[in-house]
């Protein structure tokens, strides 16, 4: 195996291992593999640790926040927030998708013939009350995760990105229903948190609602280690 091939193989292995740790069982996006297929041979053989901005702490169960609401309701498509759990470093959101028409796995980014581009699957974004916003989470790992694994493989210490960052933590479904969970880092400042979703491929351009960022922050500050 040549040096570039070794880098690609190790990055892919690390990514699969991390997805398994986060409860996600899906292939990395084509964009991720393209971003890491060239460069120096990796100088670190061990899998990289999950960054603190990438997932809830292992030793917390979080504090629930009331957040169930409808994000989008169309004649043949329904999307809602089902739950919110705050942790010391961020919060999770559950998103439910219901459709009168069958949603094939490839339309959600699964399988060898999955769709790509801006029309593929649901794009979810977060905006804090101070104006900071995320780039949105769609299919596969976000750009911050891609950059983190690439720099780690090169022996660097990746800097902490500027939040908010939203990433898909897991989910699945089939037929007429799909459910997903997202992790958002960090905790929001006081004020409203705007969650926006779009799915141009299904005719949903933009739909948004506001969450109580003050309540999410207060709940996160109460979340402690189960071992304390």
Note the Cα 119 to chain centre separation in Å.
Answer: 17
Give mean pLDDT, residues 69-80: 93
Q: What is the CA 51 to chain-centroid distance, rounded? A: 13
Question: Rounded to whole angstroms, how far apart are CA atoms 42 and 151?
Answer: 9
| Per-residue pLDDT at 45 | 64
pLDDT score recorded for residue 47: 72
Higher pLDDT, 147 or 85: 85
Please indicate whether residue 12 or residue 191 has the higher confidence score (pLDDT): 191
* The residue to which tokens 């969450």 are assigned: 211
> In this structure, what token pair is assigned to residue 211?
């969450």
Of all residues in the chain, what percent carry a pLDDT higher than 70? 71
DSSP 176: T
Inform me whether the pLDDT recorded for 30 exceeds 60. no
Structure tokens at 70: 């409808």
Task: Average the pLDDT over each of 2-6, 91-95, 179-183 and give the range with the smallest value.
Answer: 2-6
For the segment 114-118, the average pLDDT, to the nearest whole number, is 53
- Identify the bridge partners of residue 63 per DSSP, sorted by sequence position: 86
Q: What is the DSSP string of 105-136?
A: GGGGT-STT---STTSS-EEEEE-TTS-B---
pLDDT at position 35 is 46
What domains are defined for the chain? 60-222 (2.60.40)
Which of helix, strand or coil describes residue 35?
helix
CB atoms within 10 A of CB 218: 15
The C-alpha atoms of residue 166 and residue 142 are separated, in whole angstroms, by: 8
State the distance between the two ends of the chain, measured CA to CA, in whole angstroms.
Answer: 48
pLDDT given at position 34: 46
Q: Report phi then psi at 57, rounded to 5.
A: -60, 145
Mean pLDDT of the chain: 79
Q: What backbone torsions phi and psi does residue 121 show, to the nearest 5 degrees?
A: 70, -175
Give the bridge partners for 207, in sequence order: 197
According to the model, what pLDDT value does residue 105 have? 81
Min mean pLDDT across 3-12, 100-109, 179-188, 219-228 is at 3-12
Instruction: Determine what percent of the chain is predicted with pLDDT higher than 90.
Output: 44
Q: What is the mean pLDDT of residues 22-48?
A: 52
Q: Range with the lowest mean pLDDT among 86-95, 112-121, 141-150, 214-223?
A: 112-121
127-184: per-residue pLDDT in tens? 999 999 987 655 556 677 778 877 877 778 888 888 899 988 888 888 999 999 999 9
pLDDT of residue 157: 81
pTM, full prediction: 0.76
Distance CA 26, CA 107 (A): 14
Q: Is it the case that residue 63 has pLDDT exceeding 70?
A: yes
At 39-61, the pLDDT tens digits run: 555 566 677 778 888 899 999 99
d(CA 93, CA 216): 11
Residue 109 CA to its chain's centroid (Å): 13
Q: How far apart are CA 2 and CA 132, in angstroms?
A: 42
CA pseudo-torsion sign 172, 29, 20, 79: negative
Q: How far apart are CA 117 and CA 130, in angstroms?
A: 30
């Amino acid at each position: 195996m040549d040096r570039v091939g070794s880098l690609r193989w190790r990055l892919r292995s690390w990514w699969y291992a991390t997805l398994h740790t986060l409860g996600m069982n899906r292939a990395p996006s084509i964009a991720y593999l393209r971003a890491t297929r060239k460069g120096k041979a990796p100088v670190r053989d061990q899998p990289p640790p999950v960054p603190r901005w990438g997932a809830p702490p292992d030793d917390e169960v979080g504090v629930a926040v009331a957040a169930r609401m409808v994000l989008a309701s169309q004649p043949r498509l329904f999307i809602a927030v089902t739950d919110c759990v705050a942790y010391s470093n961020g919060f999770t959101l559950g998103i439910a998708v219901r459709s009168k028409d069958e949603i094939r796995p490839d339309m959600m980014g699964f399988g060898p013939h999955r769709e790509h581009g801006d029309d593929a699957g649901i794009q979810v974004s977060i905006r804090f009350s101070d104006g900071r916003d995320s780039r949105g989470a769609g299919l596969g790992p976000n750009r911050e995760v891609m950059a983190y694994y690439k720099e780690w493989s090169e022996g660097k210490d990746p800097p902490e990105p500027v939040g908010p960052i939203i990433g898909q933590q897991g989910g699945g479904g089939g037929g007429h229903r799909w459910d997903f969970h997202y992790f958002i880092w960090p905790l929001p400042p006081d004020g409203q948190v705007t969650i926006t979703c779009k799915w141009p491929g299904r005719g949903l351009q933009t739909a948004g609602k506001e969450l109580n960022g003050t309540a999410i922050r207060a709940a996160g500050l109460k979340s402690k280690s189960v071992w304390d």
